[in-house]
Amino acid sequence: MRFLDNRQGLIAGLVTAGLLMVSIGAAAAQGLAEPWQTGFQDGVTPVMQEINWFHNFLLVITAAIVILVTGLLAYIFVRFNARANPEPSKTSHNTLLEVVWTIVPVIILVIIAVPSFRLLYLQRDIPDADVTIKAIGNQWYWSYEYPGAGDVSFDSVVIEDEDLKPGQPRLLSVDEQVVVPVNKVVRVIVTASDVIHSFAVPAFGIKIDAVPGRLNETWFKVRKTGVYYGQCSEMCGVRHAFMPISVKVVSEADYAKWLEAKKAEASGPRDDTIKTAAAGIGAAR
Q: Which is nearer to Cu ion, 200 or 232 (CB)?
A: 232
Residue 142 CB, shortest distance to Cu ion, in Å, is 8
Which residue stretch of 28-36, 124-132, 211-219, 227-235 sits at the interface with Cu ion (rule: CB under 5 A)? 227-235
Q: Which is nearer to Cu ion, 9 or 212 (CB)?
A: 212
Q: Using CB atoms within 10 Å of the CB of residue 207, give its burial: 0 to 12 exposed, 13 to 18 middle, 19+ buried.
A: middle
Residue 14 CB, shortest distance to Cu ion, in Å, is 41
Which residue stretch of 7-15, 146-154, 224-232, 245-253 sits at the interface with Cu ion (rule: CB under 5 A)? 224-232
The H-or-E segment that residue 156 falls in is strand 153-156
Q: Which is nearer to Cu ion, 232 or 249 (CB)?
A: 232
Total residues contacting Cu ion by CB under 5 A comes to 3
Cα–Cα distance, 142 to 135 (Å, whole number): 7
Q: Which is nearer to Cu ion, 44 or 198 (CB)?
A: 198
Q: Which is nearer to Cu ion, 199 or 255 (CB)?
A: 199
**CA angle 55-57-62, nearest 5°?**
90
Cα–Cα distance, 142 to 42 (Å, whole number): 24
Please check whether residue 126 is in contact with residue 218, taking contact to mean a CB–CB distance below 8 angstroms: yes
Q: Using CB atoms within 10 Å of the CB of residue 21, give its burial: 0 to 12 exposed, 13 to 18 middle, 19+ buried.
A: middle
What is the radius of gyration, based on Cα positions, of the chain? 27
Longest dimension (CA), the chain: 99
Residue 24 CB, shortest distance to Cu ion, in Å, is 28
Q: Which is nearer to Cu ion, 32 or 236 (CB)?
A: 236
* Contacts (CB under 5 A) with Cu ion, residues 230-259: 232, 236
Cα–Cα distance, 283 to 275 (Å, whole number): 12
Cα–Cα distance, 155 to 141 (Å, whole number): 7
Residue 232 CB, shortest distance to Cu ion, in Å, is 3
* Contacts (CB under 5 A) with Cu ion, residues 150-209: 197
Residue 33 CB, shortest distance to Cu ion, in Å, is 18
Pairing of strands 244-250, 178-181: parallel
Residue 270 sits at φ, ψ, to 5 deg, of -75, 150
Which residue stretch of 21-29, 87-95, 106-114, 229-237 sits at the interface with Cu ion (rule: CB under 5 A)? 229-237
Residue 192 CB, shortest distance to Cu ion, in Å, is 8
Residue 129 CB, shortest distance to Cu ion, in Å, is 24
Q: Which is nearer to Cu ion, 47 or 200 (CB)?
A: 200
Query: By the criterion CB under 5 A, which residues form the site for Cu ion?
Result: 197, 232, 236
